[in-house]
Structures are given as structure tokens and as C-alpha cells.
Homo-oligomer: A and B are copies of this chain.
Amino acid sequence: MAAASQALQQAAARGRDLEVVAFERGSATSYSACGIPYWVGGVVGSREELIARSPEEHRRRGVDLRMGTEVVGVDLAARTVTWRRAGGAGDGGGPPEGSEGFDQLVLATGAVPRRPDAPGFDAGPEAGVHGVQTLDDGSSLIADLERGQRDGTVRRVVVVGGGYIGLEVAEACVVRGLHVTVVQRGATPLGTVDDDMGAFIADAVRDEGVHLVTGEEVCGLELAPAAEGGRVRAVHTASGLELPCDLVVLGLGVAPSVALAREAGVPLGESGAIAVDVAQRTGAEGVWAAGDCTEVRHRVSGRGVHVPLGTHANKQGRVAGINLGGGYATFPGVVGTAITKVCRVEIGRTGLSTDEAADAGFQVVTAAVDSTTTAGYMPGAEPVRVKLVADQRSGRLLGGQVVGRSGAGKRVDALAICVWNEMSVEEVLALDLAYAPPFAPVWDPVLIAARKAAQAVERACSPGA
């Protein structure tokens, strides 16, 4: 809903004569989906705290908002959408289905959790199998946990997938006193960071008491017979492991919700998400798209990628809304920045990882350094490791990863902006970054890493190499 919310705000503010009708399948608008794991873990006290703008607020700004109402078809030739009301969504009376005409259409259909293509994984919350994408997902997960912890039927949780959301939910479940297993295919969690950096995360996850099972493909979900409630009993892996559990969380990330777009004939991109231009226009006349259902351009690889993230959704929604309202704005793409925190360990990444850079055709050099978040002699100094990925031929910084304790993670922003501006590691090492003993060593960790990467580039380019 982030994209839709921004689009509504901007379009309503700029296009004063626009008549805006919005459909939301669920029961909430404009919320922080990224905050759901913290709500599950009790760090955030209530569902309401995650809501930035309620249905009433949208309506007060002139949006004709239909809650609990799903758009089930788009007819581009007839310029109509057909909709259906979910049972019992309690949004006043009215007919159960209908259609609505439009001049301009914004698709902000979001994403749905990826499910392993294996028996049993199509089970839903009633079987104890939960996604964590929407507030309604969060509500049903929390209700299931509370009930199950109260009556003792939920003690063991398996999280399938060790990505950002998977790890965050795993930590939340540990905080709730549950026995948690994370099972994943890769050698280390967070597939978008290099294995040597991911190893720090693996250690942090295990230190927290999570049972981390790596290098395992899940191949089936075992459910109790319907007569015994039909709930999940175990997750099975291809190598023959059986992971007994009372509840499963899908942490494999999300796939763009493109069924509506595809059926209507709105073109999809190479990633499978809806293709859009920099103004958030799709390939269909008068149809815009924004948020987790769309493809974004990766500014380093040049490829169309699917990066579902609230911060992009907000920006894209703003851009679509401004353009719809008669202004002009663009969304110039992403560099793949992401960040998370596992217990006390922070990790940030941006640009291309070593493997991604090689895939994209670069000749890769890397440099990793261990430093501290403050001058080494200050009492609060925390370890931080910075790894840079550069192109050997041009010295261009292609990506960077930062892992460490408090104060480490957000340093990835510096690298993200360097990558965005296509700086070489030689340029990066000369940057004027903020220095004082409580904030960095006299050579900032980012600069030390850049110096080492520049040396690696120089060595690789020197005649004898």
C-alpha cells in the first residue's frame, strides 16, 4: 500500500479535478510491511503503530476508497475494472461485485510470498503456514502464535528461507520464547551478500539460539490429517532431514502480483514484474504501475530487476502520482541497497555482490578490511568489516557490504551513493567523510577499504600482473 498511498496523495494534491477511486483487498491502508517482524516480536506494540494513513484519512482527502474489495479483472479496451467484495470485510453494505470505469489506471498490486514448489506448501494460515507481507498476514500470524503459545500447541517454528524477512521473523519468534529453525538453500543467510560476509550473520543467528540449517532444499510440508486439525507437523528437505514444527513462516521473499496485469495485457519485464518507464508508465496506454508489483532498473547491471522494498514503493508511488496529477517526476532506478539487523549484528549491502558483478560481465577485484566504528582508542569502538567489489579494468566501485555492531550498518549509505555516482575506488578513498574520534578512525573504514581496493586495481593493472 505504500506505492498506492503516495500515488493517491500526490495525484490528489496536484490534480485537483481528478476523481480518484481506490480498491484495497485487505483491511488496512498505508502501512509499514517492513515493520511486521517487529510487531510479531513485540518491539512494536500494536498493529495501529504501523499504519501511516488510515482509510478515513484517505477519504478525508477526497479519495473514494473501497476497502475489502478486490479488483478481479481489467478491460483495457472498455476502460473498466471489475471488482468483488471480500466476505465480511465490514465496510458498509452494498453490492458484492461490480465494475468501475477509468481514464487512467494505477496498478499497485504488490507482491505475494514465494512458496516452495513442493507438496503441502499451498497450505494457509489455518494450517499454521504464514506469510508476513501484509498487516492481515501479521494479524493472523500473531493470533496463531498467541493462541498456540497459550494452549501449548505451538512451540516449534520453522522459517523457510534465510532472507531479510525470514531472519527478522526468526528473531521475533526467539524473542517470544519459541524454538526456531531457519532452513535455507544457500551456504549462508542473505543470498545478496558474499558468503564471507554472510558467515558473520550465520554466527549471529546461531548465537541468538536459532537452529540454522543451510544448504538444504525443502521438498515437502507434512500436515496432520484433516480430522486432527490439518495443521503443519514437519518440513522435509531433499537430503532427508525432517524438521518437526507447529508453525511455518514463509521467508523466501516475494513474487510480484502480476496476474491482473498479465491477464489484461499489460507487458511484464525480464524479471517477471510489470515493466515501467522512469515515469512509472507501463507499456499499456494510460496504465501506470508502482511498488512491489513493478520492475526497477538496476543502475549498475543495467538489468530490469524485482526489488520489493517499501522505500522504492514510496518513491515510485510519488512519481506516478505527480505525473498523473500533471507534474513531472522520475524514478531513476536502484543500486540494490538493503540493510538488516540480527540481534546485535548489523549488515548493509549495495550494488552488486561478487557473484552478481561477475554475472554482469565485470572483471572483479574485491577488498575487505576490518576496522572499528570509532577511533580504536575510544571506549565505545565496535568492530566493522567493509568489503568492496570493484571493476578491475576501470576501478569503478560496483558494490559494497558492511557488517558489524551498532553503528556499522548505515555506513552502507556512503557506498550506495558512491556506486550511484559511478565513482572509482581511487576517488572514493579521497572522499571527505566526517571524522572525529567518537564517529570513526582517522581513516574511515570505508576509506581504508577503498584504499585497499585501489591497490588491488593498481596491482592487477600493472605490467607484471
Contact = CB atoms under 8 A, between A and B. Distances in A.
24 contacts: A32-B375, A32-B377, A34-B437, A35-B378, A38-B437, A44-B377, A44-B378, A44-B379, A50-B377, A311-B432, A311-B433, A311-B442, A311-B443, A338-B434, A339-B435, A339-B439, A340-B436, A409-B439, A410-B410, A411-B413, A413-B434, A416-B432, A416-B434, A420-B432
Contact of A433 (B407, B413, B429, B435): B413
Interface of A: 2, 32, 34-35, 38, 43-44, 49-50, 164, 309-312, 314-315, 330-341, 346, 348, 350, 375, 377-379, 407, 409-414, 416-418, 420-421, 423, 427, 429-440, 442-444, 446
Given A38-B437, A339-B435, A417-B417, 16 more contacts: A34-B375, A34-B436, A34-B437, A43-B379, A49-B377, A309-B435, A310-B435, A311-B435, A311-B444, A331-B430, A337-B435, A410-B411, A413-B414, A416-B434, A417-B418, A417-B421
Contact of A375 (B35, B309, B312, B410): B35
A379 B418 CA distance: 31
A416 B348 CA distance: 19
A32 B374 CA distance: 13
Contacts of A330: 430
Contact of A350 (B32, B417, B418, B434): B434
Contact of A421 (B407, B423, B436, B444): B423
A409 B410 CA distance: 12
Nearest to A402: B434
Contact of A436 (B339, B427, B430, B440): B339
B437 A35 contact: yes
A330 B407 CA distance: 30
A432 B335 contact: yes
A204 to B, nearest CB: 14
Contacts of A421: 417, 421, 423
Nearest to A433: B413
Contacts of A348: 434
Contact of A32 (B43, B414, B420, B442): B442
Contact of A442 (B34, B409, B438, B444): B34
A135 B334 CA distance: 47
Nearest to A373: B410
Contact of A332 (B32, B44, B430): B430
Contacts of A435: 34, 309-311, 337, 339
Contacts of A350: 432, 434
A314 B442 contact: yes
A312 B442 CA distance: 9
Contacts of A38: 377-378, 437-438
A418 B435 CA distance: 17
Contacts of A315: 429-430
A356 to B, nearest CB: 15
Nearest to A410: B439
- Of the listed residues A332, A375, A413, A421, the one surrounded by the most CB atoms of chain B closer than 10 A to its CB is A413
B434 A410 contact: yes
A337 to B, nearest CB: 5
Contacts of A310: 435, 442
Which of A315, A330, A338 gathers the greatest number of chain B CB atoms within 10 Å? Answer: A315
Contacts of A418: 417
Nearest to A414: B413
A103 to B, nearest CB: 26
Nearest to A377: B49
